[in-house]
Chains A and B, each alone.
Chain A
Amino acid sequence: EVQLVESGGGLVQPGRSLTLSCGASGFTFDDYAMHWVRQAPGKGLEWISGISWNSGRIGYADFVKGRFTISRDNAKNSLYLQINRLRVEDTALYFCTKDNYSTLVTNPRRTMDVWGQGTTVTVSS
């Protein structure tokens, strides 16, 4: 069964840092690009970042402004998102998603075809 399981969320004070993890199983992890998407309470989906199969190409949403860092460890079938200088507005459910292509280029196969259940980050003092 293809599966993504996020972890690492929790209650964090503003200004602190946090690293989210996503464990993948059921598919060849290093064949595909991966993404992080978040959803604030009662709000819509927001793409945060994507990373190609070999970490050679990375993209970030405009709002990231250097506070987020995406990475992956193919030997561990794992994806990560480090968030620095956390803000109250970073409070959200963070999803890990699988791309249907290997890298971040325009390609008709591109989609997010597998989603985890998410991990909740709450930023509050």
Chain B
Amino acid sequence: QTVVTQEPSLTVSPGGTVTLTCASSTGAVTSDYYPGWFQQKPGQAPRALIYSTTNKHSWTPARFSGSLLGGKAALTLSGVQPEDEAEYYCLLYYGGAQLVFGGGTKLTVL
């Protein structure tokens, strides 16, 4: 069974920079896994932020960026705002018809 692993929790100061990562139990994450990132705030549905490693949606704030880092997918927030406090999930595609979410990272802005 494929497992996608994220940091359970991270803390960042307002205005700071933080990087969340996403690893696959099958090996290095590459662009062929088309990594995506989602933000979910309490009581709300998830919202897509990044797709296909680096691509932003029209609604994605400029301070969010996606990349590959050391064999993992990564989401970097630069100039963190208080409203960025949320749970973040990555999503990997295994051959198109198999998708697996990571366990999520709870980001605290403190």
A to B contact number (C-beta, < 8 Å) = 79
Q: Tell me if A44 and B97 are in contact (CB < 8 A).
A: no
For residues 6 through 59 of chain A, which have their beta carbon under 8 Å from a beta carbon of chain B? Answer: 35, 37, 44-47, 50, 57-59
Distance A8 CA – B38 CA, assembled complex (angstroms): 25
A69, CB-defined interface residue at 8 Å: no
Q: Tell me if B34 and A106 are in contact (CB < 8 A).
A: yes
Which of chain A's residues have a CB closer than 8 A to the CB of B57? 111, 113
Q: Tell me if B98 and A110 are in contact (CB < 8 A).
A: no
Which of chain B's residues have a CB closer than 8 A to the CB of A115? 45-48
Known: A46-B101, A47-B101, A106-B96. A112 touches B38 (CB 8 A): yes
For residues 73 through 100 of chain A, which have their beta carbon under 8 Å from a beta carbon of chain B? Answer: 95, 100
Q: Tell me if A44 and B89 are in contact (CB < 8 A).
A: yes
Which of chain B's residues have a CB closer than 8 A to the CB of A100? 51
Q: Tell me if A111 and B52 are in contact (CB < 8 A).
A: yes
B55, CB-defined interface residue at 8 Å: yes
Which of chain B's residues have a CB closer than 8 A to the CB of A112? 36, 38, 46, 48, 91
Q: Tell me if A106 and B99 are in contact (CB < 8 A).
A: no
Q: Tell me if B99 and A59 are in contact (CB < 8 A).
A: yes
For residues 53 through 110 of chain B, which have their beta carbon under 8 Å from a beta carbon of chain A? Answer: 55, 57, 87, 89, 91, 93, 95-104
A104, CB-defined interface residue at 8 Å: yes
Q: Tell me if B99 and A35 are in contact (CB < 8 A).
A: yes
Please tell me which one of the listed residues A47, A61, A106, A118 contacts residue B32 in the complex, with CB atoms under 8 A apart.
Answer: A106
A1, CB-defined interface residue at 8 Å: no
Q: Tell me if B34 and A108 are in contact (CB < 8 A).
A: yes
Q: Tell me if B52 and A109 are in contact (CB < 8 A).
A: yes
Known: A35-B99, A44-B101, A59-B98. A108 touches B47 (CB 8 A): no
- Listed in ascending order, the chain A residues whose CB lies under 8 Å from chain B are 35, 37, 44-47, 50, 57-59, 61-62, 95, 100, 103-113, 115-118
- Listed in ascending order, the chain B residues whose CB lies under 8 Å from chain A are 1-2, 32, 34, 36, 38, 40, 45-48, 51-52, 55, 57, 87, 89, 91, 93, 95-104
List 5 interface pairs A-B (beta carbons < 8 Å), by A numbering: A50-B99, A106-B32, A107-B96, A111-B57, A116-B45
A-B CB proximity, top 7 nearest: A59-B97, A111-B51, A104-B97, A105-B96, A108-B52, A44-B104, A115-B45
